[in-house]
Structure 1
Amino acid sequence: QRPHKVGNDVGGAKGGSDVVCVMSPAGCSHLNVFKVDNWKQNLRVVYQCFVWSGSAETRKRKAKSCICHMCGAHLNRLHSCLHCIFFGCFTKKHIHEHARTKRHNLAVDLLYGGIYCFVCQDYIYDKDMEQIAKEEQRKAWKLQGNGFWKCGLWLQSIGEKYSTWEPTKRELELLRHNPKRRKITANCTIGLRGLINLGNTCFMNCIVQALTHTPLLRDFFLSDRHKCEMQANSCLVCEMSQLFQEFYSGHRSPHIPFRLLHLVWTHARHLAGYEQQDAHEFLIAALDVLHRHCKDDNGKKANNPNHCNCIIDQIFTGGLQSDVTCQACHGVSTTIDPFWDISLDLPGSSTPFWPLSPGSDGGVVNGESHPTGATTLTDCLRRFTRPEHLGSSAKIKCSGCHSYQESTKQLTMKRLPIVACFHLKRFEHSAKLRRKITTYVSFPLELDMTPFMASSKESRMNGQYQQPDEQVCNSLSLSLCRYALFAVVNHQGTLESGHYTTFIRQHKDQWFKCDDAIITKASIKDVLDSEGYLLFYHKQFLEYE
């Protein structure tokens, strides 16, 4: 809020300069007109009934009566005249017109309780009035319990209420000796911090780097919105909150995530020990524990990802639609399942791959070279969403035929998450062999998920989706389905011995490589030429739900 102006206006300055305001210990002299008889009691009534409104009765009265007497609006910075019963818009200057015609110079802001003087043309400060305002505000808080009335809405407060901050003498001294403020520029590296490897914990460090650079997750943890009711030092959400504070504190020395490792071992025992673990497995385990330790907006435990409003599900959960079509009657059975990530098969695996990019030579591409026909992320998604014939050995009972029939199954995206994580299945474990697949997969900086949506499939089936023109396609893509790459986790080495690193995007075109405690600048070419194991994409346009 702007500093208050106190004193009288003095015009006629030399050289035709603007009107200035002279500071006076006595404050605004126009208050003397109001400070007569029972002015304190009258002001208390105004604050009780029209500003803070502590009781249910006064809130109802405020909702009914506090409208502009000239245009009937509830908002537009509504002010109440202190000399008579009149409410007027400040934005549309209806309260100004009233003050000019009635010569009523003082009004109170019904949102914040500030006193405005129309002669001084600014909000003014008076010690006695400020004291009354604070006393009535505290009374209203006590009447309202755990919330407060503001902007015509009942807002639930989190934790205890805090009064306005006023610096101590010590803090004033510190402010005087440290006048400079940190400038946030395009080259700012706040949020970049290395992580000490605690013994084969690069699998954890690379995922932590990706999570701490997820924009909405960062905003959640840095705004102190988690209210914990678990036992002390046992909540992973609390530890992640502390981790975000450490990352964005401005410190440059590497952080030691020993508490995080201990909690992971406690809540995901299959990851305990100093053996090298799978980064993808750690990501899913971490999201699961965070999901279980979070609460939704209704204060209920988040046990069902289908009906959960916790921050993890808001950001990472999408809906995968499975359509099973009977080959006899062509009846379709549809189910929708939640997912946190999408695992994609690669060429070179024992699973037959279909198909490569248009114009590809069809050969298996190894990570050593990048020929023209290299496999793309879009190829992998095409294979993931292609119809698959289940065969005679996997017959299902059709609800239409009432008998077991052969069928086809197709997966599509019913609902896209805000953050889409793609897991390229580089580690193959089967009864006959265990190996790492080094096939190079080209992935883009920007990804359009429109072709893989369930709605696109339905349009094609209805004959409405045959080569849409560029304008329609762009309109659909830009609205909901366009993603931007912001993190890439890579694995170097073999299945038995390897190392994880992460590329993260700090700003639009600035990338950094995170190798445990070492952070180095990287080029976009370094990112796109990397092998790729986990790819993190963020929605460019968020939909309102």
Structure 2
Amino acid sequence: MARIKQYGSRCPHIGDYRDTIEKVCGTIYKRIVFPETAPDRARKARETLCRWCDRNLEPSLCCCLHCSHFACLTHMRMHFKEHKHVFALHLTQGHLYCYKCGDFVYDRTVEGLRRDCENGFRRIRGFTFGKHQQLWNPSQAEIEVLHSENVLVLPRDLERGLRGVLNLGNTCFISCIIQAFMHTSLLRDYFITDQHNCKVGELCLICEISSIFQEFYNGHSQDAFMPNRLLHLVWKNEKHLAGYEQQDAHEFMIAALSTMHHQARSSSLNTTTLDCKCIIDRIYTGQLQSDVRCESCGSVSRKLDPFRDLSLNVDQTTNGSVSITLAECLRKYIAPEPLDGGKGIKCENCSQVAARTQQLTLHKLPLVMCFHLKRIVHHRAKKTNIDVVYPEVLDVTEFTSPQVMKTQNGLHTSSPEHDSNEKLNSAKNRYELFAVVNHFGTTEAGHYTCFVKHNMRKWYLCDDEHISATTPEVVLASEGYLLFYHKQYIEYE
């Protein structure tokens, strides 16, 4: 086995380019991979496209260190071959790729630059780390140990984090939400890095979710997980969910998020609803803008309300079609509606008795967007099976408050700068599907399953304790009850 050379590098080609690599890597880390300023984040979203595909193909996008050429890894190899270039930087994680080695390579100096920039970036995100929680940069002695013959090399397609969940008797409504939580990458990163500082005690639901994350990702067992303690805590914290009769997965998800939010706030100095910085609000909470308009004088009363999911009506389209798209459901959601049954009420602005309309739009987008397709009507014991067509990548720009106002006011300009800004806004508002909860059966007797996109790469079907691989086509053809989307472009405050 070759010994690790000076600088802790195992790539024999770095030495010829070391000065250039270190200089260029430092700049790319700060400006593109871990952008610390809003202009740099905007530039990353607008300009980091594969020059061949003309798409942002994260997590495979790379930057050539010799000419700042952006391309996906497949086309980057073609670029290397044509221009005799050697090194590129992965724009998602910042790892160094060597064309001559045909693989990502480790260099201690470059890794130190990457680690320092990522630690700074994580601090900007609002995470506070002790020294033991910062990204680790191994010493020379530790590198020797890591490369010893006794080290187990894990395969790239490792399925750590994939575990079934035992059904304890009509608890599939819990199992599917556990799976959705376990595959929410930001939530996973938070709990695996041990961010939670408990001040609640033995009834803390956040502590139990943290423990479940450890159980799923520690790699010690692939046996189905038994959620008995979680079930106990749910019954203690949410009395209406106690018992072994069938419950609603959406109701459980909202109750779990609400409980964790309140428990996290109890250990936080910030108690303002719209400005809460707990992990639940930082990931799941957005803001709806409510505009109430007087039909007489046109005055608008505006307020903001938090939301953790959007419950969308699933109705037949006006043309009688038995299918509807998710975008059509959202258009209905943001369409102005009459208030008070269309009856007039005295306007505070014009003092006239006039009808009012209310319009809801997306003012602030959450990092994770959950759509609840209202198929189940509990008070009528009825379920609708209308086909809802939903995409793997969803752009919600059309439904945001600024865009709705532009459309209503007829504002549209065309210029290179305007088109560039529109492209950036679209990138900021784009989401990728990562979990789908489905319900089978009737309102009285049914079953829940969950599709998850493991590590945002491969789709799996989670049916209680059974896990099986599947395809995007199968996922998108499923009926859909809860749809979980993760924001592709994350703007940190």
> Under TM normalisation by the shorter chain, which class is it?
0.5 to 0.7
Find 1:237's aligned residue among 187, 206, 218.
Answer: 206
Q: Whole-Å Cα distance in 2 between the matches of residues 397 and 505 of structure 1?
A: 52
The aligned residue for residue 481 of structure 2 is: 533
Equivalent of 2:406, from 426, 440, 459?
459
Shift of 1:258: 0.7
Query: Would you say the 8 A contact 1:292–1:301 is kept in 2?
Result: no
d(CA) in 2 for partners of 1:197, 1:210: 16
Q: 1:318 aligns with which of 286, 302, 310?
A: 286
Q: Match of 1:28?
A: none
* Residues in 2 aligned to 1:181 and 1:295: alpha-carbon distance in whole angstroms: 41
CA 1:218/1:408 → structure 2, altered by over 3 Å: closer, same or farther?
same
Partners of 2:396 and 2:443 lie apart in 1 by 31
How much identity, in percent, do the aligned residues show? 45
Q: Who is 2:320 aligned against?
A: 363
Provide the C-alpha distance between the structure 2 equivalents of 1:535 and 1:508, rounded to a whole number of angstroms.
15
SS in 1 for 2:427: helix
Deviation for aligned residue 1:240: 0.7
Given that 1:196 and 1:257 are in contact with CA atoms closer than 8 Å, whether structure 2 keeps it comes out as yes
Matched, 1:496 2:444: yes
Q: Which amino acid in structure 1 is aligned with residue 442 of structure 2? A: T
- Structure whose CA Rg is larger: 1
The structure-2 alpha-carbon separation of the partners of 1:252 and 1:161, relative to structure 1 and needing over 3 Å to count, comes to closer
Tell me, yes or no, if structure 1 residue 480 matches structure 2 residue 480.
no
What amino acid maps onto 1:183 in structure 2? L
1:243-254 to 2 correspondence within 5 Å? 243-250=212-219, 251-254=221-224
From 470, 480, 493, give the equivalent of 1:522: 470
Q: How does 1:24-43 map to 2 (within 5 A)?
A: none
Query: Which has the larger share of helix?
Result: 2
Contact 2:284/2:308 (8 A) holds in 1: yes
2:158 and 2:236 map into 1 onto residues whose CA distance is 36
User: TM-score when scaled to structure 1?
Assistant: 0.62
CA separation of 1:392/1:268 partners in 2, compared to 1, >3 Å: closer, same or farther?
Answer: closer
Aligned runs of 1:180-259 on 2, under 5 Å? 180-185=151-156, 187-231=157-201, 233-250=202-219, 251-259=221-229
Number of corresponding residues: 368
Preserved CA contact (<8 Å) 1:200 1:276: yes
Distance 1:4 1:385, change over 3 A: same
Q: Aligned match of 1:285 in 233, 255, 268? A: 255
The Cα shift of 1:407 comes to 1.1
1:267 and 1:394, CA in 2 relative to 1: closer, same or farther beyond 3 A?
farther
**8 Å contact kept, 2:291–2:300:** yes
SS in 1 for 2:274: helix
Query: What letter matches 1:226 in structure 2?
Result: H
Deviation at 1:525, TM superposition (A): 1.2
Rounded Cα–Cα distance in structure 2 between residues aligned with 1:215 and 1:243: 14
| In structure 1, C-alpha distance between the alignment counterparts of 2:161 and 2:477, rounded to whole Å | 25
Structure 2 CA distance for aligned equivalents of residues 468 and 407 of structure 1: 37
1:188 Cα deviation from its structure 2 partner: 1.9
Q: Which amino acid aligns with 2:429?
A: C
TM-score, normalised relative to structure 2: 0.68
The structure-2 alpha-carbon separation of the partners of 1:340 and 1:248, relative to structure 1 and needing over 3 Å to count, comes to: same
- Secondary structure of the 1:307 match is coil
Give the counterpart letter for 1:434 in structure 2.
Answer: A
* Residue in structure 1 matched with residue 394 of structure 2 by the alignment: 447
Matching residue of 1:419: 368
Q: Which whole-Å deviations, capped at 9, do the CAs of 1:214-269 have from their partners, x for residues lacking one?
A: 010000000001111222x2211111111000000122111111111111111011
Q: Name the CA shift for 1:429/1:516 in 2 (closer, same or farther; >3 Å).
A: closer
- Is 1:450–1:476's contact at 8 Å kept on the other side of the alignment? no
Summarize the Cα distance change of 1:482–1:176 in structure 2 as closer, same or farther, 3 Å threshold. closer
Query: What do you get for the CA RMSD once the two structures are aligned?
Result: 3.5
Distance change in 2, residues 1:230/1:389 (3 Å): closer
Distance of 2:341 and 2:133 partners within structure 1: 66
Alpha-carbon distance between aligned partners in 1 of 2:477 and 2:128, rounded to the nearest angstrom: 49
Distance (Å, rounded) in 1 between the aligned partners of 2:250 and 2:131: 36
Gapped runs of 5+ residues in structure 2? Answer: 7-14, 16-107, 110-122, 139-144
Amino acid across the alignment from 2:184:
T
Residues 1:419 and 1:396: Cα distance change in structure 2 (over 3 Å): farther
SS of match in other structure, 1:217: helix
What residue number does 1:294 align with?
264
Matched, 1:343 2:343: no
Contact 2:265–2:271 (Cα < 8 Å) also in 1 = no
Supply the AA of the counterpart residue of 1:480.
K
- What is residue 512 of structure 1 aligned with on the other side? 460
Distance 1:178 1:237 in 2: 40
Pair 247,466 (structure 1): closer, same or farther in 2 beyond 3 Å: same
Is the contact between residue 456 and residue 465 of structure 1 (CA under 8 Å) also seen in structure 2?
no
* Cα pair 1:449 1:481 within 8 Å, conserved: yes
Residue equivalent to 2:88 = none
User: What is the alpha-carbon distance in structure 2 between the residues aligned to residue 378 and residue 364 of structure 1?
Assistant: 15
Question: For structure 1, which segment, 330-339 or 464-473, has the greater mean C-alpha deviation from structure 2 after superposition?
Answer: 464-473
Contact 1:509/1:524 (CA < 8 Å) preserved in 2? no
Alignment CA distance shift 1:256-1:161 (3 Å): closer
AA aligned to 2:165 is: L
| Higher RCO by CA contacts (8 Å cutoff, separation 6 or greater) | 2
Change (3 A) 1:383 1:467: farther
Contact 2:268 2:278 in 1 (8 A): no
